[in-house]
């Protein structure tokens, strides 16, 4: 790679920016898909930092661009190839200026397409999967040396986990952070690429997770979301390797949550994404007993029809799901539920679809994600004969989203007039606005005086909810002006300055 000037003026569109001497190499990462990819992108930044790479917010003029891709739905690979076409022009521009731009494709499309990416997009220098990014420095060195212009490909599933090789997180976290605790999936739902792109289930040792959480809290983090493709299948080695009597030396997610909740300064815990099969007693009990575990759970059901659930290889029925929800609500009555739904799975009849609508009505979701079934190459459902026509899928999706949208709005509307503790995370789009999350995971927009923005960001403060929208709430900040008020409770006053 060409040597970089130590300091220069760079023009990005109409923006001219002084690039500081410290930014020796500019790294642009575009992240698609799930929160796991967001986490992975942050860790790639950590891995590349010792090589002098710092993150910039535009691919133009960058020394390295990584597309961290998602393969879960739709024409993921095609989207990546068209993005690579656009980036080719920027790479050429860099070369014309006497520099170069390393172009890398990461994530699940890289894992699934591998060599094909290098063949179809020869401008790509590096292709690597979700399990090998700890080797990025080596890949960068190999790509820089590659005189023949051939790209570097590393899509192994290494025997030793990348977590054993990753550096401690370098990037300054915000008040809410992710910690990856589990990866991969052995469930093989018949529609899903994850078991093929992310590999077999792996759980990080509990001690490593706790140490990472402690470091984050020491750096100011108040809320941690534990991540995993199948996070409640977590079965990490117990600290000190001592058997805990129930798991033969491993901890389940419920036990891990209890240990994390003991960290002083950590106020909130969440986890995502879970599978109904792995909602065990300890985890359900944690929802009732552990105050720091927020009353929100994303628990994908996918369908309300037992016939379709069996064809999906979900290994649970609609009644199983309803029973789990009932137990969770017994433990934590105010639990807000979210889910994923797929409509138009091969062979789905009107009746199957009606069963899904019925389940939604029975549960009542606070929020949900819904998708048209999209055949993924290499998955069993993709080769079923009974694929549904596009207009049928579209019509069912519209019907499903209408119902889910109405439930979400009703849930949000029921919050109007309540005082909710909100973790104020970042400035909103409008001036004088902070955006945060309620315990139920709703986005809350809060008007605050400009002068107080910096002081208030990162704190959990009571907010009076004034209005509800389909995907968010708006409210005003309250100060607790009489914490000792008598039995009648606390009185709140709106902050005005
Ligand atoms: N088609 C449509 N939706 C899918 N999902 C996963 N695979 C597919 C597919 N082939 C959805 C599931 C999953 C969410 C992350 O994406 O609902 O829970
Ligand atoms: Fe995919 Fe099913 Fe595994 Fe979830 S549980 S990641 S949907 S295979």
- Span 419-450, pLDDT tens digits: 999 999 999 988 899 999 999 999 999 999 88
pLDDT at 230 over 80: yes
Q: Report the separation in Å between the CA atom of 108 and the middle of ligand 2, taken as the mean of its atom positions.
A: 14
Q: Report the separation in Å between the CA atom of 15 and the middle of ligand 1, taken as the mean of its atom positions.
A: 39
Q: Report the separation in Å between the CA atom of 208 and the middle of ligand 1, taken as the mean of its atom positions.
A: 30
Nearest atom (ligand 1) to Cα of 370: 17
The answer to whether the Cα torsion of 290, 295, 301, 305 is positive or negative is positive
State percent of the chain over pLDDT 70: 89
Confidence (pLDDT) at 245 = 45
Confidence (pLDDT) at 33 = 87
Q: Choose from 66-75, 233-242, 263-272 the range with maximum mean pLDDT.
A: 263-272
Nearest atom (ligand 2) to Cα of 314: 2
Confidence (pLDDT) at 23 = 56
Q: What is the mean pLDDT of residues 147-155?
A: 79
pLDDT at 333 over 80: yes
Calculate the alpha carbon distances from 310 to 141, 191, 348, 357, 497 in Å: 48, 12, 12, 18, 58
Q: Report the separation in Å between the CA atom of 188 and the middle of ligand 2, taken as the mean of its atom positions.
A: 6
Atom 5 (ligand 2) nearest CA: 187
397 lines ligand 1 (CB under 6 A): no
Ligand number nearest to the C-alpha of 381: 1
Atom 18 (ligand 1) nearest CA: 340
Confidence (pLDDT) at 341 = 98
Ligand number nearest to the C-alpha of 314: 2
Q: Which of 371, 383, 404 gets mutated to test ligand 1 (max ligand atoms within 8 A of its CB)? A: 371
Count the neighbouring beta carbons within 10 Å of the beta carbon of residue 158: 15
Task: Tell me which DSSP letter residue 116 carries.
Answer: H
What's the pLDDT band for 172 if we cut at 50, 70, 90?
Answer: low
Q: Report the separation in Å between the CA atom of 312 and the middle of ligand 2, taken as the mean of its atom positions.
A: 10
- Distance (Å, whole) CA 342 – CA 397: 8
Q: What is the mean pLDDT of residues 263-276?
A: 97
Rg of the chain's alpha carbons, rounded to an integer?
24
What's the pLDDT band for 24 if we cut at 50, 70, 90?
Answer: confident
Q: What is the mean pLDDT of residues 346-373?
A: 97
Ligand number nearest to the C-alpha of 393: 1
Q: What is the mean pLDDT of residues 468-493?
A: 63
pLDDT at 163 over 70: yes
Atom 2 (ligand 2) nearest CA: 189
Q: What is the mean pLDDT of residues 384-398?
A: 97
pLDDT at 482 over 80: no
Residues with Cβ within 8 Å of 76's Cβ and at least 6 positions away in sequence, in order, are: 32, 69, 70, 108, 109
Q: What is the mean pLDDT of residues 290-308?
A: 98
pLDDT at 235 over 90: yes
373 lines ligand 1 (CB under 6 A): yes
pLDDT at 15 over 70: no
Q: Which of 34, 111, 112, 189 gets mutated to test ligand 2 (max ligand atoms within 8 A of its CB)? A: 189
Q: Report the separation in Å between the CA atom of 354 and the middle of ligand 1, taken as the mean of its atom positions.
A: 19
270 lines ligand 1 (CB under 6 A): no
Give all strands (DSSP E) within 314-377, no chain letters: 336-343, 367-372
Atom 2 (ligand 1) nearest CA: 373
3-class SS shares of the chain: helix, strand, coil, % to 5: 35, 25, 40
What's the pLDDT band for 234 if we cut at 50, 70, 90?
Answer: very high
Nearest atom (ligand 2) to Cα of 185: 3
Give the global pTM. 0.85
Nearest atom (ligand 2) to Cα of 198: 6
Q: Report the separation in Å between the CA atom of 210 and the middle of ligand 2, taken as the mean of its atom positions.
A: 26
Q: Which residues pair with 126 in a beta bridge?
A: 104, 152
Q: What is the mean pLDDT of residues 243-263?
A: 83
pLDDT at 481 over 70: no
Q: What is the mean pLDDT of residues 304-314?
A: 98
Confidence (pLDDT) at 197 = 86
Atom 16 (ligand 1) nearest CA: 72
Find the helix or strand (DSSP H, E) in which 465 lies: strand 460-468
Atom 13 (ligand 1) nearest CA: 340
pLDDT at 384 over 70: yes
pLDDT at 493 over 60: no
Q: What is the mean pLDDT of residues 7-13?
A: 34
pLDDT at 9 over 60: no
pLDDT at 331 over 50: yes
pLDDT digits over 401-416, tens only? 999 999 999 999 999 9
pLDDT at 494 over 90: no
Q: What is the mean pLDDT of residues 177-202?
A: 92
pLDDT at 487 over 50: no
Q: What is the mean pLDDT of residues 470-482?
A: 79
Residues within 6 Å of ligand 2 by CB: 185, 187-189, 192, 194-195, 229-230, 275
Q: What is the mean pLDDT of residues 12-28?
A: 57
């Amino acid at each position: 790679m060409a040597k970089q000037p130590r300091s220069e003026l760079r023009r990005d569109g109409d923006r001219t920016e002084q690039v500081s001497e410290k930014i020796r190499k500019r790294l642009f990462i575009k992240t698609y898909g799930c929160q796991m990819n967001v986490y992975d992108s942050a860790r790639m930044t950590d891995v590349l930092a010792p090589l002098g790479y710092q993150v910039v917010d535009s691919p133009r003029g960058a020394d390295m661009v990584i597309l961290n891709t998602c393969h879960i739905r739709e024409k993921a690979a095609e989207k990546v190839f068209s993005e690579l076409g656009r980036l080719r022009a920027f790479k050429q521009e860099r070369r014309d200026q006497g520099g170069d731009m390393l172009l890398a494709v990461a994530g699940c499309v890289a894992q699934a397409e591998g060599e094909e990416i290098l063949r179809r997009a020869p401008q790509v220098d590096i292709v690597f999967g979700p399990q090998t990014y700890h080797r990025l420095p080596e890949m960068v060195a190999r790509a820089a040396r590659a005189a023949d212009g051939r790209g570097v490909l590393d899509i192994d599933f290494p025997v030793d986990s990348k977590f054993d090789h990753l550096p401690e997180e370098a990037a300054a976290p915000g008040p809410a952070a992710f910690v990856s605790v589990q990866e991969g999936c052995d469930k093989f739902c018949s529609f899903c690429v994850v078991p093929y792109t992310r590999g077999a289930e792996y759980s990080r040792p509990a001690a490593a997770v706790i140490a990472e959480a402690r470091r984050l809290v020491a750096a100011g983090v108040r809320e941690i979301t534990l991540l995993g493709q199948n996070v409640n299948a977590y079965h990490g080695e117990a600290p000190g390797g001592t058997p805990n009597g129930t798991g033969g030396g491993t901890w389940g997610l419920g036990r891990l949550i209890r240990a994390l909740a003991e960290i002083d300064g950590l106020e909130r815990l969440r986890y995502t994404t879970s599978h109904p099969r792995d909602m065990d007693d300890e985890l359900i009990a944690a929802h009732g007993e552990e105050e720091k575990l927020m009353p929100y759970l994303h628990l994908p059901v996918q369908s309300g029809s037992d016939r379709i659930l069996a064809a999906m290889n979900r290994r649970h029925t609609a009644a199983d799901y309803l029973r789990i929800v009932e137990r969770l609500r017994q433990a934590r009555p105010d639990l807000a539920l979210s889910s994923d739904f797929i409509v138009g799975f091969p062979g789905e009849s009107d009746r199957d679809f009606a069963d899904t609508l019925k389940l939604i009505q029975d549960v009542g979701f606070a929020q949900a994600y819904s998708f048209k079934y999209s055949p993924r190459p290499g998955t069993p459902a993709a080769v079923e004969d009974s694929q549904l026509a596009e207009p049928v899928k579209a019509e069912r999706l519209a019907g499903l989203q209408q119902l889910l949208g109405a439930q979400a709005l009703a849930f949000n509307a029921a919050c109007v007039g309540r005082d909710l503790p909100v973790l104020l995370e970042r400035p909103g789009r409008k001036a004088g606005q902070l955006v945060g999350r309620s315990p139920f995971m709703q986005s809350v927009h809060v008007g605050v005086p400009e002068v107080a923005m910096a002081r208030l960001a990162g704190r959990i403060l009571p907010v009076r909810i004034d209005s509800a929208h389909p995907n968010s709430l708006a409210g005003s900040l309250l100060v607790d002006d009489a914490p000792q008020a008598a039995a009648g409770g606390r009185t709140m006053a709106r902050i005005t300055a």
